[in-house]
Amino acid sequence: MDDKFNVLFGSKHLTNGVSLHNFDMKLDNNVYERMHSRFLKNVLNVNKYSSNSAVRGELGRFPLAIKILSLSLKYWHSMNTNSPNVLLKCALKSEILHNSRWLQSIEYLLKTNGLAYVWNDLYSVSTNYLYQLIKCRLSDQYIQTWFANDPYKSIGIDGLKSQYICSNYLSHILSPNIRSMITKLRVNNSVLRTSGYTHIDNICPECNSNAIESVNHFLLDCPKSKNIRNIFLKKVKSLILNYNCLSKQELLCIILDADIDRVKDKSLIKEFLSNISNFIKNIYMNRLENK
């Protein structure tokens, strides 16, 4: 039984990485979380150095640890209250007798999530209710931590995500290549000099403005892509609600999320998405030609 929590908790010494609240565990150092992150990066077609937090946020995915810990708690509660299996009950008695690390971890999980009463009174809740409750609490904690350390803010984009769900553009932009271009801009894995931390000099090589080549500069400010940008803005100006009142950050978020909720009329959505796709493709190809 100890293996179930040894896999998740490992050493009690904290190491670098992103943590869940109330756990002596670091997500990005766990073998299962690394495998999960690698799979998500393959789905999004970004390289292994992309931010794990940003990649999970793009797809609205939670760490596997949340599901595993919730199931571990469900298993413990079921063994104590519902299991008719004699061997399981004998194994549980042995765990209690030796005050195993697994049981210590169960107690720790309950008490640090406001559920100490369950440890003291097993029949105060049903097994399924306890499972849903702890899963919800752990998920809420992760979401709070994620927004507090919003990975998009590190690349100068504020307000790109207001809900922890799969990003809108992934279902709205039909072309896999265009989706990949947008994803790479969002998770800091694009051709820009500020991406991937591989360039000593982050100054835009395309213009003489001496500006840092951020996503904001690349899409909305760089003089080198002025013609491409002006053509795009001229087309979408009549499609977006209250266009003249938008800040640059708001416009940037509309572009990078393909936000169809900001379109004036449903009949214009197809045209709006087509314009965004063409803009991203043209400005990206223009940058690649001069890479």
Tokens of 271: 């045209």
User: Over the chain (291 residues), what is each successive 10-residue block's mean pLDDT?
Assistant: 43 39 54 90 91 93 90 90 82 84 88 93 94 95 91 84 94 94 90 69 84 90 93 95 93 95 94 96 85 58
Q: How many CA atoms lie within 13 A of 164 on its CB side?
A: 21
C-alpha 99/C-alpha 106 separation (Å) is: 11
What pLDDT does 198 receive? 55
- Please give the pLDDT value at position 9: 42
CA atoms within 13 A on the CB side of 17: 19
- Amino acid (1-letter code) at residue 12: K
Q: What is the pTM of this model?
A: 0.84
| Concatenated DSSP letters of 149-196 | T-TTGGGT--SS-SSSS--THHHH---HHHHHHHHHHHTT-SSSTTST
Bridge partners of residue 263, in order along the sequence: 240
